[in-house]
């Protein structure tokens, strides 16, 4: 029997290998593999939708020797988001990389990154997470340095080193857990883990390592240069997916595996770091001179919002309120992934059209590239959290829970962050509309502009209006 | 006793590597520091594989083997990027 979980990992992997072997056909092979991989992910999604969760033991070998893949609502939702972004990035890349050389290098690395990402989201044990995390870091750093400019290579070399430091720290945490409990399986660990010095140090080590990779404040210093100097399709994937993968692991550890170990103080510390990330990231985004740097700092702020959920989720007892809050968290993550991918793709087009991406000199962008400006506005809507975007619902539930659990101070942070986000989005738009409005054509290059537009549109319209199905997918609030 | 010695040495190596990674700026020293950190973790994993009379636990061994492969590839990529930077700076 063919296994949808294994396909979701192996299709991009095989596509990447084929693209390496036949560089002349890399683009056609890459697109084909992307399409098949999207179908495989859709299959996983349907399976999770019908059965709640899927598990498969590769080759029939059970744990501890075998490798198991698991999909639940959370991983299926992120898989689907990754597949959408990957499809958009793939189509965009066919129009973005004109020289054959860059395309030949882009496709193998990109498909390998996608395979690593799917493997990470489906991994059922801590060590496979380590391997996929390393693969993700290596391919991301190599992709980011694809332009070969000194800034890009040095920023991504730093990203690579920081990522290695993060995964080594994570691995030490894994070693501690294996010493104490003799298992690496996430489900088994969650059942046996006890509060104590070993579990606490493992949690601290693993969280610190992952926080480095997720660019959680104050460990975000490597992100803005690395993401701002990468080629546009790569920055989109890095900001929307790779950073989110590390955060997904933090979430898994804090909410599933280490749930009995996490104290209110530790959860509040994560919330505090998140709050600082929101303020600092939004402020730096407002002060950025370049559009791509603005988008990168906005990612730092958005990771902060996701961290704000942790103290509230920890404080609420299991029940429908906590379920709602969890879905809101996933909704925020999905919205940001799609919106940020759209924003970075659009920023790449602006940079190519104008020859630079200095925000102050972007006058006339709205006339030259109406569709791209519309994309930036739509993505901005989602980043601010205006209705009907998914992040509007996410922020709404976040603020409601903050009041209900008596942690009202987080609301101040959300308000300041939202105001700053509105300021930095409108700063770009006001520059773009600088000239007399006489747009000639709405779409100038369909192959690159349409994927960006659709991703931004999905973050605003689809996720906002069809948020209901996310509750069902995550198996929560049924009958409500 | 031997287990404690190996495990302890592993943790010391990890701390030494971390210290060197944070203190020194040259790429080569940072890379060596990362590899020492990795060796520290591998030391610890090999130490916990011991089970007295029983044959050693194979799982940590498999982890160390995979870890070494990952560390070698990561080091190679970092060295290649470092060389690219050096060539660019030399060419100016």
Number of H helices and number of E strands within chain B? Answer: 3, 0
B70: closest CA of chain A, how far (Å): 7
Mean pLDDT of the residues in chain A = 87
A179 contacts chain B (CB < 8 A): yes
Q: Name the 3-class secondary structure at A480.
A: coil
CA dist., res. A333 & res. A394, Å (int): 9
Tell me: pLDDT of A206 over 70: yes
- The distance of Cα A359 from the centroid of its chain, to the nearest Å, equals 25
CA dist., res. A136 & res. A114, Å (int): 8
Give contacts of A175 with chain B, Cβ < 8 Å: 41, 44-45, 48, 60
For chain B, give every domain's residue range.
2-91
Rg (CA), chain A: 21
Q: Are A306 and A340 spatial neighbours (Cβ–Cβ below 8 Å)?
A: no
If you search the block for the tokens 């738009």, which residue do you land on? A429
- The total of other beta-carbon atoms located within 10 Å of residue A435's CB is 12
Which of B21, B40, B70 is the closest to A131 by Cβ?
B70
CA dist., res. A253 & res. A237, Å (int): 24
ipTM, 2 decimals? 0.93
**Residue B55 banded pLDDT, cuts 50, 70, 90:** confident
- CA-based nearest residue to A388, from A321, A325, A331, A344: A331
B2-91: CATH class: mainly alpha
* Average pLDDT of span A372-401: 89
* Average pLDDT of span A374-384: 91
CA angle A453, A459, A465 (to 5 degrees): 120
pLDDT at site A64: 62
* Average pLDDT of span A194-204: 89
Tell me: pLDDT of A439 over 60: no
Tokens for A274, please give them: 């998140």
* Average pLDDT of span A55-76: 80
Burial level of A116, CB count in 10 A (0-12/13-18/19+)?
buried
* Average pLDDT of span A233-255: 92
Tell me: pLDDT of A373 over 60: yes
- CA-based nearest residue to A463, from A374, A321, A339, A313: A339
* Average pLDDT of span A451-480: 74
* Average pLDDT of span A89-112: 84
Q: Provide the β-strand partners of residue A125.
A: A185
Give contacts of A137 with chain B, Cβ < 8 Å: 74
pLDDT, tens only, A67-95: 888 888 899 999 999 999 999 999 998 88
**Residue A146 banded pLDDT, cuts 50, 70, 90:** confident
pLDDT, tens only, A285-325: 999 888 889 999 999 999 999 999 999 988 888 888 888 88
Tokens for B45, please give them: 């994993």
pLDDT, tens only, A321-338: 888 888 999 999 999 999
Q: Which residue of A has its CA nearest to B34?
A: A165
**Residue A480 banded pLDDT, cuts 50, 70, 90:** very low
With b for 16 or more beta-carbon neighbours within 10 A and e for fewer, the A259-274 pattern comes to eebbeeebbbebbbbb
More confident residue, A365 or A452: A452
Tokens for A66, please give them: 């075998």
pLDDT at site B1: 73
For chain A, give every domain's residue range.
1-122, 124-260, 263-480
pLDDT at site B20: 93
Residues of B with CB under 8 A from a CB of A: 7, 14, 17-18, 21, 27, 30-31, 34, 37-38, 40-41, 44-45, 48, 57-60, 62-63, 66-67, 70, 73-74, 77-78, 81-82, 84-85, 88-89
pLDDT at site B36: 94
End-to-end CA distance of chain B: 57
More confident residue, A402 or A364: A402
B5: closest CA of chain A, how far (Å): 15
More confident residue, A366 or A159: A159
Q: Which residue of B has its CA nearest to A156?
A: B81
CA atoms within 13 A on the CB side of A381: 21
Q: Which A-chain residues 125-164 have CB contacts (< 8 A) with chain B? A: 127, 130-131, 134, 137-138, 141-142, 145, 148, 150, 153-154, 156-157, 160-161, 164
* Average pLDDT of span A93-122: 87
């Amino acid at each position: 029997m063919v296994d949808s979980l294994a396909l979701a990992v192996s299709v991009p992997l095989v596509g990447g290998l084929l693209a390496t072997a036949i560089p002349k056909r890399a683009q056609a092979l890459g697109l084909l593999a992307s399409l098949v991989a999207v179908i495989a992910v859709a299959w996983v999604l349907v399976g999770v939708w019908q059965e709640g969760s899927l598990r498969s033991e590769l080759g029939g070998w059970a744990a501890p020797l075998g490798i198991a893949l698991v999909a639940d609502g959370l991983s299926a939702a992120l898989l689907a988001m990754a597949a959408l972004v990957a499809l958009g990035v793939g189509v965009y890349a066919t129009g973005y990389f004109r020289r054959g050389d860059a395309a030949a290098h882009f496709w193998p690395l990109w498909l390998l990154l996608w395979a690593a990402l799917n493997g990470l989201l489906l991994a059922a044990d801590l060590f496979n997470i380590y391997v996929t995390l390393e693969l993700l870091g290596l391919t991301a750093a190599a992709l980011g340095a694809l332009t070969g400019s000194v800034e890009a290579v040095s920023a991504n070399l730093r990203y690579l080193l920081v990522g290695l430091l993060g995964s080594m720290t994570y691995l030490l945490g894994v070693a501690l857990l294996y010493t104490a409990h003799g298992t690496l399986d996430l489900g088994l660990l969650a059942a046996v883990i006890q509060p104590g010095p070993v579990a606490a140090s493992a949690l601290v080590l693993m969280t610190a390592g992952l926080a480095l990779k997720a660019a959680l404040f104050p460990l975000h210093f490597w992100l803005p240069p690395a993401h701002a100097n990468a080629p546009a399709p790569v920055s989109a994937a890095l900001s929307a997916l790779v950073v989110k993968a590390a955060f997904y692991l933090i979430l898994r550890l804090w909410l599933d595996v280490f749930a009995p170990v996490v104290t209110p103080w530790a959860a509040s510390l994560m919330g505090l770091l998140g709050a600082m990330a929101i303020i600092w990231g939004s402020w730096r985004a407002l002060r950025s001179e370049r559009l791509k740097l603005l988008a990168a700092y906005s990612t730092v702020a958005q990771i902060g919002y996701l961290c704000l959920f942790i103290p509230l989720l920890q404080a609420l007892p299991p029940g429908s309120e906590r379920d709602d809050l969890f879905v809101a968290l996933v909704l925020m993550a999905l919205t940001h992934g799609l919106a940020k991918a759209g924003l970075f793709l659009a920023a790449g087009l602006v940079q190519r059209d104008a020859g630079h991406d200095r925000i102050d000199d972007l006058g006339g962008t709205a006339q030259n590239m109406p569709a791209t400006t519309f994309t930036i506005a739509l993505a901005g809507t989602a980043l601010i959290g205006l209705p009907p975007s998914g992040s509007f619902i996410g922020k709404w539930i976040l603020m409601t829970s903050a009041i209900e659990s008596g942690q009202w101070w987080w609301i101040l942070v959300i308000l300041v962050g939202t105001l700053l986000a509105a300021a930095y989005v409108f700063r770009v738009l006001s520059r773009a509309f600088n000239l007399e409005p006489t747009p000639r054509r709405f779409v100038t290059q369909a192959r690159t502009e349409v994927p960006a537009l659709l991703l931004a549109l999905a973050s605003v319209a689809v996720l906002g209006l069809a948020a209901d199905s996310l509750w069902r997918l995550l198996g929560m609030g049924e009958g409500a | 006793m031997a287990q404690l010695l190996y495990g302890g040495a592993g943790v010391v190596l990890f701390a030494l590597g971390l210290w060197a990674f944070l203190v020194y700026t040259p790429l080569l020293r940072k890379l060596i520091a990362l590899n020492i950190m990795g060796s520290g973790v591998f030391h610890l994993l090999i130490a916990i594989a011991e089970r007295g009379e029983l044959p050693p636990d194979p799982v940590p061994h498999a982890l160390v083997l995979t870890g070494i492969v990952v560390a070698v590839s990561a080091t190679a990529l970092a060295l290649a990027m470092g060389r690219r930077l050096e060539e660019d700076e030399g060419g100016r």
